[in-house]
Amino acid sequence: MASTLITVAALAAIAIHLVTASPLMDTLLQVPDLSTFAEVYNLTGGIVEINPLFLKRYNYDEDKRNYTFLAPTNDAWAKIPNAIFDILMTQQAYPLTEALLRTHIIEAGLMASELVKVSESEGAGGISTSLQVSNTTDQYHNGVLTKTVQGYYIDSVTSSNGTVQIDDQSAIVMVNIVADNGLIHAIDQVIDPFLLYGGGPSNRTIAPTSETTDLTIGEFLTSDSRLVNSSKILFENSPDTLRRLSKQTGSMQFFVAPQNEAYDLMPTILPIFHTLVAPYKSPFNTLMWQYGWLDSDGDTFAGLNFSSPVTVASDITGLNITVTQEENAIFIMNAGLVSQVKATNGYLWVVDRWLDPLYQAFGPIDRFGTPEWP
């Protein structure tokens, strides 16, 4: 695999003049191998044009800021199963798709070499170095962290052959495509930021417990000591979700909530509570909560016997939820099931990770052998 990747050193020696310098969004449209990335922006804005907010921010000279796009190639998008790609293009999934796109954008014009080295100057690539952090802790990163406009950090390292690798998932294969207001680097796999954000995949090996309560799912969520963090954040972020989970609807519901310890696995560099309740991220955060929610047929997973994977679509988001079993341990996407609670109006799964709705959707998650988790 490594031998097929184009190194930064080799590409840096080649001046890239394949396109005429234009604003970033226009420049994307000039690079044939990035046409799917441009199409995704088009589809998020409607039928015929790029999302006006994206266009205004990244294509207008009046903005006066520079940006870097980490643009997945057409081959990178082709790795995504058609069913998942189609869901990402729906209105229901838009907050998730928007967050995904924003995680591939940096508010700075950074050369590929600047992604792997924190500059000593005040403004590397046009930004304050506070947006880049060197490896000062062993938690979840190996190289230089650079903040994206979504607020998440990407982790960039240089491989032994000089290739820039990101989050152990993606490699830069075309560097320093120049736009009027920044730079574009083509990458060979879409980056899944939510896996690292949730603490990586679960390493659980033991069977879940089962318990029964005479409370509703919502009442149990707000009263159980194992779910204090989830209850607090859900109350701030989506109180209507709690209200609906507290009702007897005549149908069995299903809901997933991370235990308190799950939040300790999130990167300490992120202000977790602020990030999860920030008003400007409300649609995205609400979608992330509602991803693991079935409004009916909540007993689909209740048998706790999964000799083969079981996949259903969330009633609320339309995104697929997959449950698997490895010996005694049961997993829902990236999270391990700690306990199943049978409530009066459905089932609550207490899990050990924050759910990643795009788990393994883009390709290998530990592609280069330097995973971002212990």
DSSP string, 108-166: S---GGGGGS--SSS-GGGS-GGGEE---SSSS-SSEEEE-TTSPEEEEEE-TTS-EEE
Cα–Cα distance measured from residue 47 to residue 30, given in angstroms and rounded to the nearest whole number:
20
Q: Across the 374 residues of the chain, what is the mean pLDDT of every consecutive 10-residue run?
A: 46 46 87 92 60 73 84 97 90 87 93 83 46 64 85 88 92 95 96 85 96 98 97 89 92 95 81 66 84 91 94 86 96 97 98 94 88 68
Nearest to 152 by CA among 170, 136, 140: 140
pLDDT value of residue 135: 57
pLDDT (0 to 100) of residue 213? 98
Query: Residue 205 pairs with which residues in a beta bridge?
Result: none
What pLDDT, on a 0 to 100 scale, did the predictor assign at position 37?
92
**The CATH homologous superfamily of the domain defined by 2-192:** FAS1 domain (2.30.180.10)
pLDDT score at 198: 80
Per domain, the residue ranges of the chain are: 2-192, 209-351
At 70 the pLDDT is 98
Domain 2-192 matches domain 209-351 at the CATH topology level = yes
Any idea of the CA torsion for 120, 17, 13, 165, to the nearest 10 degrees?
A: 60
What was the pLDDT predicted at 277? Answer: 65
pLDDT of the residue at 19: 54
In angstroms and rounded to an integer, the radius of gyration of the C-alpha atoms of the chain is 21
Q: Give the three-state DSSP class for 4.
A: helix
Read off the amino acid at residue 227. L
Buried b or exposed e, range 344-367, using 16+ CB within 10 angstroms = ebbbbbbbbbbbbbbbebbeebeb
The pLDDT of residue 125 is 45
CATH fold group of domain 209-351: FAS1 domain (2.30.180)
Find residue 342's DSSP bridge partners. 212, 347
Confidence at residue 272, expressed as pLDDT on a 0 to 100 scale: 64
- Report angle CA 319, 227, 281 to the nearest 5 degrees: 50
